[in-house]
Amino acid sequence: MKNKAKASLRLVHRKLLRWYETSGRPLPWRKTRNPYKILVSEIMLQQTQVSRVLQHYPRFIKKYPNFHSLSRVGVAEVLRAWRGLGYNNRAVRLLNLARTVDGLHEGILPRSIEHLRSLPGIGHYTAHAIACFAFGAKVPVVETNIGRVLARLFPSRQNVWETAGRILPPRRVFEWNQGLMDLGALICTPHLPDCGHCPLRDLCPTAHRVVRPAMKKRKEPGRNGIPNRIYRGKIIEVLRNRNGRGSIAAERLGSLIKPDFSVRDRIWLRGLLRSLEKDGLVRVGRWRGGVSVSFP
DNA sequence: GAACCGTGGTT
DNA sequence: TAACCAAGGTT
């Protein structure tokens, strides 16, 4: 890299880190280095806004403060604690992860990115996030915010992960990664970026002239124009609210999640239940010639 | 690599 | 109001 580019990069480091000191968000998972607490926050934050996670994270951590306490409960209890967060598969994966760590790793989360990635629910991003935020590794992190920021700051670069690795500062990598995310969430937003208040505006080639790529929506499979995943969520919510009583007849479940449920919907409902069963979210059994549904 | 997976606020 | 969007992961 040329000296000029190096100097410019150092300026980016300085400006962003300074901005983060004064404008970074005071989020609870930034005040700890506890691997379990960092992990829970990262799983919750997958495709989920910070504002929503803030509503549920403290209560979840209080109820399940470590891998051991979480590993001892069942799917039903975890899904109730997960209510409102969405993507319920994450709760099941987190539970299985806790059981694995508690049972096979003496309650200690692995430190290596490769090992982390082998655990359920931890992919490329989350493994790097845990390595950096919990273990202090000097590794890059790229999620939707940072991907957008880097695409605008380095429009000629193609691979954002490679770019993120190349521009990593020599120290304060924790603050650097968190700062880039805050910049994307607060200033460098998708629709109308607030370039006037951006600490990097003088160094950004696309400042004040951001074009956002027009994305086309895909069509989701569903019923009556409602995607199947919404019905899946309704099924889980019905089961959550059946405190005590274990199972429910599929026919009754159908009428609860779809007001005009009829015999023509039976096959469709069976498909939903099969997918939920495969994900470990429900158990499907036989009952009086029909089908019964409960938490596993 | 595309399809699938919740929930609810914002525009 | 319909569409978009949000600290991704799995198959």
> Which pLDDT tens digit goes with each residue over A14-64?
999 999 999 999 999 999 999 999 999 999 999 999 999 999 999 999 999
Residue A247 Cβ < 7 Å to strand C: no
> What's the confidence (pLDDT) of residue A172?
98
Confidence of residue A13 (pLDDT cuts 50, 70, 90): very high
The protein footprint on chain B, as nucleotides within 7 A of a CB, is 3-8, 11
Residue range A6-11: average pLDDT? 94
> What's the confidence (pLDDT) of residue A209?
83
Can you tell me which residue has the tokens 């962003």? Answer: A16
Q: What's CA A129's distance to the chain center, in Å? A: 11
Confidence of residue A4 (pLDDT cuts 50, 70, 90): confident
Distance, Å, A226 CA → B10 C1': 20
CB atoms within 10 A of CB A294: 16
What is the domain count for chain A? Answer: 2
Same domain for A199 and A227, yes or no, is no
Residue A195 Cβ < 7 Å to strand C: no
Which residues of A have a catalytic role annotated?
42
Distance, Å, A250 CA → C9 C1': 29
- Cα–Cα distances in angstroms (integers) from residue A84 to residues A55, A77, A87, A88, in the given order: 9, 14, 9, 9
CATH number of the domain bearing residue A282: 1.10.10.10
CATH number of the domain bearing residue A40: 1.10.340.30
Q: Final residue of a domain: which of A169, A203, A237?
A: A203
Same domain for A84 and A158, yes or no, is yes
Q: Burial letters for A41-71: b for 16+ Cβ neighbours within 10 Å, e otherwise?
A: bbbbbbebebeebeebbeebbeebebbeebb
Residue A277 Cβ < 7 Å to strand B: no
Mean of all residue pLDDT scores within chain A = 95
Residue A73 lies in a domain: yes
Confidence of residue A211 (pLDDT cuts 50, 70, 90): low
State the Cα–Cα distance between residues A42 and A200, nearest whole angstrom.
27
Confidence of residue A288 (pLDDT cuts 50, 70, 90): confident
Q: Which two tokens stand for residue A70?
A: 């979480």
Burial class (CB in 10 A: 0-12, 13-18, 19+), A272: buried
Range of the domain at A247: 223-294
